[in-house]
């Protein structure tokens, strides 16, 4: 695959956005640096970056969000503000715990945790 300045800008943009941006979020941010870029170009390059393993995507209802963290990890959704955060607990640790307590042979998991994020807790006080 040949180098693309647009693709590199899109990848770096996603890496600077903490909370799993949508294609529209990426488009708004990239457009400040590359006003000529189209939303179609954003979608094509995001899909290519996922295909290349540079990004992962998360289905969030009807919306797709993008994540620069491509290893197996879990997510936490804030019930107050709706943000999606990475949780740094390995799948292996969770599988070991669940296997030990259930007697099942678990090969993979997809887990979304929910509650209140730190920002919302601080703003509540």
CA–CA dist 1, 50 (Å, integer): 14
The whole-number mean pLDDT for each consecutive block of 10 residues of the chain, a chain of 125 residues, reads 83 91 96 95 96 91 90 87 84 83 83 90 82
Question: What CATH fold (topology level) applies to the domain 5-67?
Answer: Arc Repressor Mutant, subunit A (1.10.10)
Return the CATH number of 74-124, one of 3.30.70.270, 1.10.10.10, 3.20.20.80, 3.30.1490.190. Answer: 3.30.1490.190
Give the model's pLDDT for residue 2. 64
75: three-class secondary structure by DSSP: strand
Give the model's pLDDT for residue 51. 95
In the structure, how many helices (H) and strands (E) does the chain have?
A: 5, 5
CATH 3.30.1490.190 location in the chain: 74-124
Cβ 55 vs Cβ 11: under 8 Å: yes
Give the model's pLDDT for residue 50. 96
Cβ 91 vs Cβ 72: under 8 Å: yes
Give the model's pLDDT for residue 108. 80
CA–CA dist 115, 81 (Å, integer): 10
Give the model's pLDDT for residue 1. 53
- pTM for the model stands at 0.77
């Amino acid at each position: 695959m040949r180098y693309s300045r647009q693709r590199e800008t899109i990848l770096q943009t996603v890496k600077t956005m903490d909370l799993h941006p949508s294609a529209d979020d990426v488009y708004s941010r990239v457009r400040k640096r590359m006003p000529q870029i189209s939303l179609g170009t954003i979608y094509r390059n995001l899909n290519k970056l996922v295909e290349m393993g540079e990004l992962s995507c998360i289905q969030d209802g009807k919306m797709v969000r993008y994540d620069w963290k491509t290893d197996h990890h879990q997510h936490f959704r804030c019930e107050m503000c709706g943000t999606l955060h990475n949780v740094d607990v390995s799948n292996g640790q969770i599988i070991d715990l669940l296997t030990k307590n259930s007697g099942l042979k678990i090969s993979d998991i997809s887990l979304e945790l929910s509650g209140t994020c730190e920002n919302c807790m601080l703003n509540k006080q």
